[in-house]
Amino acid sequence: MFFDVHKIRADFPILSREVHGHPLVYLDNAATTQKTRRVLEKITEVYTTANGNVHRGVHSLSQAATNLFEASRETVRRFINAASINEIVFTKGTTEAINLVASSFCSSQCGEGDEVLITAMEHHSNIVPWQLQRERMGIQLKVAPISPAGELLMGELEKLISGKTKLIAVTHVSNVLGTINPVGEIVKIARQHGVPVLIDAAQSVPHTRVDVQALDCDFLTFSAHKVYGPTGVGVLYAKEEWLNALPPYQGGGEMIESVTFEETTYNRSPFKFEAGTPDYVGIAAFGTALDYLTAIGLERIERYEKELLDYATERLLAIPGLRIIGTAKEKSSVVSFLVEGIHPYDLGTLLDGMGIAVRTGHHCAEPLMHTLGIDGTLRASFAFYNTREEVDRLAEGIERIVKMF
């Protein structure tokens, strides 16, 4: 089916702005994505017509806000095909969702010496929460290695599963390498060992259809701002039996059934994990963002982005001295690279001067950089609103800088 990228671009107001006198080329979508006019309007609409704190009031505004908030929970459920809205917990983002699982899971399921297995390509947000639990609970952190191409060594991963492994926590897509990990296969292997699996889907949900029932994962996390929704909102999907079994993460309003000074009983899931006033305005607009993606179709998005990735890979590889970091067979629309003799920071700054936004540095994956023996990379990450012309602008910009050096 025809994919009219120019029509799509017109839905995103920021894409028509200039940076340093040049039309913006926004290639930092793995860090955060841009928002449609409708998402922005939704935020204003809720504040101007339906702003009342959720779940607490009998008055009309509170009920209107609650309806929008709960409608978004259903939209998220449908988007990832969860079995029930009770399995959708709203958080501040992927980071908070993983911290929630690390805290509630380790405190109730782990003892001294028990193990959590991660991979060498995790974002800091799927490393540090487990390290905090290592300090608190005495758990051990095991790390599955990767190949030089940036693919998970599945045989090694399986060998690292022991009788003490309590959880496997793995990223679906690497934010640095673009590698798509075989998470379905990982879940199957984990099941054979009776080990639950958490999938960090921050970089996959924006680009491909993620079906939690098909994956059969226990936990899955992602952030609204990377899926064209507002900042400050995220999702923890967890199988209902886990949410019922785990203790709360934070205490406060909403998460209780009844409180006395002597004792508190907790609300049912998912509310048990949603202490305090949530960002119900952002969550309402998040639903709008997901509806937009559904209307375009994730399969079409994936196909278009794959073509863009192939084109970008070809264009970049033609530049003398440019080396791509992350050459897995299965890749999402992320290209990390280095150019011989030019520091990534300098290259990124010069590209910004041409209106081209790419990210430089360790991308919150310092241990991965150590594994690869580098300090950082430049990263161009593509969304379905990017074009081949923008890839050309990136490649031509780098070529000009290479000549300058």
Judged by beta carbon, residue 50 or residue 233, the one nearer ligand PLP is: 233
Judged by beta carbon, residue 324 or residue 368, the one nearer ligand PLP is: 368
Sheet holding 359-361, edge to edge: 322-325, 334-339, 377-381, 359-361
Q: How far is the CB of 297 from ligand PLP (least distance, A)?
A: 24
> Between residue 115 and residue 134, which ones bind ligand PLP under the rule CB under 6 A?
123, 125-126
Judged by beta carbon, residue 289 or residue 342, the one nearer ligand PLP is: 289
Q: How far is the CB of 206 from ligand PLP (least distance, A)?
A: 10
**Candidate residues 29, 75, 203, 267; the one interacting with ligand PLP per rule CB under 6 A:** 203
What is the C-alpha to C-alpha distance for residues 141 and 372, in angstroms, rounded to an integer? 20
Task: State yes or no: residue 175 binds ligand PLP (CB under 6 A).
Answer: yes
Spell out a b/e string for 87-113, using b for 16 or more CB atoms within 10 Å of the CB, else e.
bbbbbbbbbbbbbbbbbbbbeebbeee
Question: Among all residues, which ones are annotated catalytic?
Answer: 364
Task: State yes or no: residue 360 binds ligand PLP (CB under 6 A).
Answer: no
Task: State yes or no: residue 223 binds ligand PLP (CB under 6 A).
Answer: yes
Preceding peptide of 230 cis, ω within 30° = no
Task: State yes or no: residue 377 binds ligand PLP (CB under 6 A).
Answer: no
**Candidate residues 102, 177, 202, 205; the one interacting with ligand PLP per rule CB under 6 A:** 202
- From the centroid of its chain, how far is CA 81? 17
What is the C-alpha to C-alpha distance for residues 230 and 235, in angstroms, rounded to an integer? 12
Instruction: Say how many Å lie between the first and final Cα of the chain, rounded.
Output: 44
Task: State yes or no: residue 95 binds ligand PLP (CB under 6 A).
Answer: yes
Judged by beta carbon, residue 175 or residue 333, the one nearer ligand PLP is: 175
Task: State yes or no: residue 200 binds ligand PLP (CB under 6 A).
Answer: yes
Judged by beta carbon, residue 106 or residue 205, the one nearer ligand PLP is: 205
Q: Which string of DSSP letters, residue by residue, matches 204-269?
A: TTTTS---HHHHT-SEEEEEGGGGTS-TT-EEEEE-HHHHHHSPPSS-SSSSEEEE-SS-EEEPPT
Q: Where are the alpha helices (DSSP H) in 151-194?
A: 154-159, 183-192
Task: State yes or no: residue 93 binds ligand PLP (CB under 6 A).
Answer: yes
| Residue ranges in contact with ligand PLP by CB under 6 A | 30, 93-95, 123, 125-126, 171, 175, 200, 202-203, 223, 364
